[in-house]
Structures are given as C-alpha cells and as structure tokens.
Structure 1
Amino acid sequence: MKEIYEKWHKYAKKRETKALIELYAEDAVLESPLVPILINKDSGILRGKTEILAFLNEGTRRRPNELVRWYRTGKYFITGDVLVWEYPRQTPDGEQVDILELMEIRNGLIVNHRIYWGWFGTQMLIKSALENK
C-alpha cells in the first residue's frame, strides 16, 4: 500500500503515464468528475487500462495548472484493501486544487480509484465545463 502511495504520486507529478498505468489492474475502474471535461464522456467512470490511460495522457497534456502544486502532508490511511490520502486546499505556498484519492488495492494493483474534489477544485471544474459548452 505504501508503495502505491509513493509511486502514484511520483509518477503523476513527473507525468510518467506509462509507469502510472502499470499500477492499475487490467480491469480497473477510475471515477473522477474531471473525466467528462477531459475526454468528452457523459459519465465520470472509466473502465480498464485503455480508458484510464487515455484520461491520464489527456490530463498530463493539459497541465500545467498553477493550482496543481502536488502538496501532501505525508499522511495516508489504510484499512483493509483501501488506501486514502489528500491533496489539501491549503499548502505552505498558497491554495491548490483540493482532492481526496481513494484506491482499492488487490494483489499490489489498483482495482478501483475514486477521486473526490473539494469545494475549491470543484469551482475550477464548473468554470471549465461552462467555458467548453
């Protein structure tokens, strides 16, 4: 679990999508409110590594965003097969997109990944969705 916590952050921050997708099971599910915005899909649910990789690649392509600072407190929580951590809104250098990452891990791979956005990040999503109508 700790390895997923460390590697996922490292690969995502460095835009290493090929390494990042290897952390996922073949039939993994990813849910994020960013899915419809980035890949023009009605649902926020992606199934399988092919769909997830397309999302990761598009998200990487659309960065940088000054509100993605990648700050974490170093605290994470594990219970059973669930791993949770937060990118809090408030950082030592100002505000960032506030996200909670929740992953179910089986056999060392992510099988279910849900990304929850806080109020600050949600405002950014709403603005982006309205601009792209």
Structure 2
Amino acid sequence: MNTAEYLYHAWHDAAKSRDTDALIALYYDDAELESPLVPIIMQRTNGTLRGKAEIRAFLAEGARRRPNEWVRWYRDARYYTGDGTLIWEYPRQTPDGNQVDILEVMQHRDG
C-alpha cells in the first residue's frame, strides 16, 4: 500500500471513529490544517492551524460535536493522488440522503 492509499483509509477510519490520537498521528509536528470550519469551531479569525497542538484541539472538538445529521461518512472509494497530493470527496448526495459536501486535500511527504 502506498502512502496516499494508506492516508486515504487511515484518516477516514480514524475520523469516522472519532479517534483523535490516531488522526493526529498522521500529521507532522509542523503540519498546517486549513478549513473554513476552523473559525467556527475554534472561534478564531482565520482558518489556518499550525502544529499538532492546534490541530489536535480542532480535531477533538470536531469529534465531540458529532454525530450530527450532516456527517454520514459516505465516499465512493475514488481519490486522486499525484506529486505528494491526495484528494477525495465526501459528496453531498449519498445512498442514505444528503450530507455536508466536503473535499479533503492533503499534502504528504517522506512516505
């Protein structure tokens, strides 16, 4: 299994099960996370988090706020990878109704 495939499965499994420790283990110490949810969840003025401590706090709070009707964790097993970038979508339409449409983009390095 290559790095992108590993991240695709490991991130989804950890997020779906609300395993913050497993999620944060996928990030480098100097990682950055950008999301429009950061200002809403973390009450910040911008959407960029830097370093594992900030990212962990965001992921933990996001896990605490679930489940909710907008997160079904449906995806269709397709992803794109190239040049150290991994992209996949949790589409709005699912077999069980609608969910929030999320596009995940990750840059990875060093295997």
Fold shared, TM-score > 0.5 on shorter chain: yes
Matched, 1:78 2:81: yes
> 2: distance between equivalents of 1:58 and 1:21?
13
Matched, 1:104 2:104: no
Correspondence for 1:26: 29
Structure 1 residues 108-127: Cα deviation after superposition (integer angstroms, max 9, x where no partner) = 3xxxxxxxxxxxxxxxxxxx
Report the AA paired with residue 61 of structure 1.
Answer: R
Correspondence for 2:40: 37
Structure 2: state its 5+ residue gaps: none
Correspondence for 2:62: 59
Correspondence for 2:53: 50
Q: Secondary structure at the match of 2:31?
A: strand
Structure with greater strand share of residues:
1
Shift of 1:64: 1.3
Matched, 1:11 2:14: yes
> 1: distance between equivalents of 2:84 and 2:31?
14
CA RMSD of aligned residues (A): 0.6
> 1: distance between equivalents of 2:96 and 2:64?
24
> 2: distance between equivalents of 1:82 and 1:90?
25
Report the AA paired with residue 98 of structure 1.
Answer: D
Identity of aligned residues (%): 61
Structure 1: state its 5+ residue gaps: 109-133
Shift of 1:54: 0.2
